[in-house]
Chain A
Amino acid sequence: MSIVILLIPIAIILVSIAIWAFFWSVNSGQFDDLESPAHSILYDDDDELIPSDARRSDKPADHQRNG
C-alpha cells in the first residue's frame, strides 16, 4: 500500500503539467474554433500522405463511395 505515497505525488505533478499545457493551448488560441476541426477530419485531402504502395487502385469504386 505504501506505494501510493509515491504515486499520488507523481499524479499531482502530472496534473499540474496537464493544467500548464491546457493554459498554454488556451492562450495560443487552440480553443478559439471548436467547430471546424470536427468537420475537417472527414475531408479526404490527405492523398499525398498515403504511401504509394498502400494506395487503392480501384478508382471507380472510390468514386461510387463518394458520389
Chain B
Amino acid sequence: MCCPGCQAVAETIVAGGLDNFYRHRDTQNANNSLIRNNSSEQRKLELALFDDPSVQSSFVKTLDEQQREALLVIEGITCAACIWLLEHHLRKQPGVISASVNMTTHRARLCWDESQTHLSTLLGEVDHIGYQAHPYQPNREEQLLEQERKRAVRRLGVAGVGMAQVMMLAAAMYAGDMSGSMETYITQFMRWASLILATPVAIYSARPFYNAAWRDLKTGSLGMDVPVSLAILLAFGASIWATVTGTGEIYFDSVTMFTFFLLIGRYMEMAARHRTGRAGNALLNLLPTSAVRLDEDGETLVPANLLKPGDRVLVKAGHTLPADGIIVAGHSSIDESALTGEYLPQTKSDGDIVIGGTLNVEHPIEVEVTETGSDSRLSTIVRMLDQAQAEKPAVARTADTAARYFVAATLITAAVVACYWWLTAPEDALWITLSVLVVTCPCALSLATPTALTAATGTLRQEGLLISRGHVLESFATATHIVFDKTGTLTEGNLQIAEILPLGDLDTQRILSLAAALESHSEHPIAHAFTPHVAIRAREVEVSVSQGLSGKVEGRRYRIGKPGFVAALAGCEAPTPPVGNGLWLLFGDEQRLLGWFRLDDQVRPEAASTLAQLKQLGLTPLMLTGDNSPAAQKVAASLQIEGVSSGMSPEQKLAHLNQLAAGGAKVIMVGDGINDIPALAGAQTSVAMAGATDLAKTNADAVLLANDLRRLADAIRIARKTRAIIHENLGWALLYNALALPLAASGHIPPYMAAIGMSLSSLVVVGNALRLSRRPPSTDS
C-alpha cells in the first residue's frame, strides 16, 4: 500500500466481498492524487452540495415520488474491472435500484430511492473505492452525436439483416437458373420477396449517401457519394422494373451488399471519431466543482459556477483555481503548464493575475474573481478552437478529384449510348444502357479508397495511433512539415533529476536518499522528481515559501532549496549555481554544503530517433513552444531541430501554422496541452499525445495511444503505402472499366455478365486493400 488512502480503498473493496477486482484488473496504476483528494475534508463538504435540489436539477431526473435517476461521469476508470467493481459496489448499497457504467464513455446511470439514501452518500461510496463521480450535463452537440450514433447503428442493422435475406434468396435463384428446374412462378415470387427485403435497405439504410450526394450536387461538386447513390438507385430501380415486368435481371443482392459494406466503413470511421474524446467532460477536469468563497461571515463552500466577478475566494495549496482573478492576499507558485507550456511553476504574489484552471502549488492565496464563465481565459481558448475548426483547410474533399471526372465521363457515355441505341434499336436500349451503367458501376472505384483507408486505420490502431478523421492518411502521406510542441510532446512534461553534483564527501546515492526524505513531505512539482527515490523518513519538515525545505533525518538537520536558504543553515556564503539548464537546488546540513541537484524536463528517449526517421522521410521538423526559457533552445539543439519559436501564445501558434500553410506547406501538428488546442484544431492534420487533455484529444485528427513518438514515423510510412495501394486500386478499376465499357456499349455484355464482372473487380480491390492489414516490418526493434 502506498498511502493510507489506498489502504482505505482496499479495505472497502475487501470488506464488500469484491476482492475479485484484484484478480480481474489489468492495470495497476491507481490514481493516487484522486484517492488523496477523495479523503480530504473539502471533498466531503463538496459532496453535501449535491443533495441540494437546485444543484441536482441539472442532472437528476425524478422518476416518481421517491425514485431518482442521475447521470454521472466517473473519473479514474482504467479497465473493465473498474466497471465491474463500480457496478457491484453501487448495487450493494441500500436504496440503490440500479447502477450501470459505460466503459466507452465512462458515464454512469444511477437510480436510487430517495427515502432510503441520498446522492451524496452514493457519491461518497464511489469515492471510497478510489474513483470520483461528477454530474454529467450533456451539451447539445453531444446529444446530437448520440443521436447520430444510434441512427448509424440502426441503419447498419437494417442493411445487414436485409443483405443476409436477399443473399439467401439470390443463392436459390442462381441455383435455379443453373439447373433450369425452377418453375417460373416461384422465381417470380422470390423476386418479389427480394424486392420487399431490399426496399428498406435502399430507402432507409442508404439514405446518408443520398443526402451527401444531394449536398454535393447543390454545391456543384461531384463527390464519391454521387456515383454511389446513382449506382444504388439505378440498380434498385432497374431491379424493380425487372420484377414488375418479369423480364431482365435483378440486382437486389448487389444493392444490399454494396450498401452494407460501405456503411460498415462509415460506421467505423464515426466510432473512431466519437471515441477520441468526450466533449462533455472536457472542461470538467480543468475547473474544480466547488470553491471556497470568503464573505463577511466567514468561508462558504459554493459550486464554482455560481461565482461572480468581485467575489473573493480562498484557494488552498494543491487546489485548482476556479476562475480568473487577481491575488489580493498571500503569495504562492502557480503551475500554469497546461495553459502556457511553461514547465516550472511561476511565483505570484499580491496584484498578480492568475488564470482559472491552473494549479496553486504551495500556499493558500486569496483571489478576487475578475472573469468567470464565458469571459475567462479558458473559455476564450475553447472559443478560438471552434473558430479554427471552421476555417480548417478542406483537404478531405480534394481526395476524390479523379473520381469526379470519371463520374462525369460515365454519365455522358451512358447518355450517348442510350441515345444511340434508342435511335437504332429502341427495344434493346434500356438493357444496354443498364449494362453500361452496371459495368462502369463505381463500386470498385468507390470501394478503392475506403477499403484501403479502413485496413490502414486498423493496422495503425494496433500500432497505437488512433485515427479519428478520414483525411488523416491522405494528409500524412503528403505532409511536408511536422510541428511539435515541447512540453509533454518532445519531453516527458515533468521535472526529473538530471544531474547530482556532490560537494562534500557523501556519495550521490546518499545525498539523493537524504534529499528525497525531505521532499517526500512536499506537494510541490519539484518534489515529484524525488518520489522514486524515497527510502528513509524525515521528521520536523518545514516548508519555507519559495525558499526550500528543512527537516531532520536520522538526528541531523538538513536543508534543500535556494542556495541562500541552504547556505544560511551551513553558515557560509551562498555559492553560485554551476552552469547548466534547468533548476539548480542546493542541499546541505548545519556544517557544510553537500551537493547540487539539477532538475530538468527530460527529452523523451525515442524523440531523437523519431526525428531522424522523419527527416529521412523528407519532412521538416519544427518546434513551437510557449516556454520561453533557454530550455527550449537546448531541447531543439539536442534533437537537431532548426526551426524553433519559443514563448508563443496559443494565438501565435495558430497564426504561425496558418502562415506555413499559406506558404504551401502541408503541416502535421503534434501537441498535448490546452495551449496547443487552437493550433491542433487549425492545423491541416493534428495528433494529440495520449496524456493530452480530453479537449486536445477531441480536437485532434489522431491520438497517439501508445504515447510513443516512433509511431509517427510508422504512420507516415503506412500512409504512403496506403496511397500507393489506393492508386493501384483506382488504376485497376479504371482499366477494368475502360475494357468493359466498349463491349457493353456495343451490346456484347448481357447485364448478368456485367454484374459478375462488377463483383470480381470489387473483390480484387478489397483484396488488394487487405494487404495493408499486415503489419509493416518494424524498423526500431
* Residues of A participating in the B interface, judged by any CB pair closer than 8 Å: 1-2, 4-5, 8-9, 11-12, 15, 18-19, 22-23, 26-27, 31-36, 38-40, 42-45, 66
Contact = CB atoms under 8 A, between A and B. Distances in A.
B105 A35 contact: no
B200 A34 contact: no
A39 to B, nearest CB: 3
B158 A33 contact: no
B748 interface: no
Given A1-B183, A36-B83, A39-B80, A19 B158 contact: yes
B102 interface: yes
B88 A19 contact: no
B84 A43 contact: yes
Contacts, number: 81
A19 to B, nearest CB: 6
A40 B189 contact: no
B197 interface: yes
Interface in B194-251: 196-197, 200
Contacts of B80: 35-36, 38-40
Given A26-B150, A33-B103, A8 B20 contact: no
A67 to B, nearest CB: 9
A4 B168 CA distance: 13
Contact of B23 (A27, A31, A66): A66
A33 B102 contact: yes
Contacts of A32: 102, 104-105
B190 interface: yes
Given A4-B189, A33-B104, 4 more contacts: A11-B193, A39-B24, A44-B20, A66-B23
A37 B161 CA distance: 23
18 contacts: A2-B186, A4-B186, A12-B197, A19-B157, A22-B154, A22-B158, A33-B104, A36-B80, A36-B101, A36-B103, A39-B83, A39-B84, A43-B24, A44-B20, A45-B20, A45-B84, A45-B88, A66-B23
Interface residues of B, number: 32
Interface of B: 20, 23-24, 79-81, 83-84, 88, 101-105, 150, 153-154, 157-158, 161-162, 165, 169, 182-183, 186, 189-190, 193, 196-197, 200
A27 B150 contact: yes
Contacts of B197: 12, 15
A11 B150 contact: no
A26 B153 contact: yes
B161 A22 contact: yes
Contacts of B186: 1-2, 4-5
Contact of B154 (A26, A33, A36, A42): A26
A34 B169 CA distance: 31
B102 A43 contact: no
A35 B183 CA distance: 49
A40 B83 contact: yes
A28 to B, nearest CB: 10
Contacts of A11: 165, 193
Given A23-B154, A26-B153, A43-B84, A35 B161 contact: no
Nearest to A8: B193
A66 to B, nearest CB: 6
Given A4-B189, A12-B197, A44-B20, A18 B84 contact: no
Contact of A8 (B158, B190, B200): B190
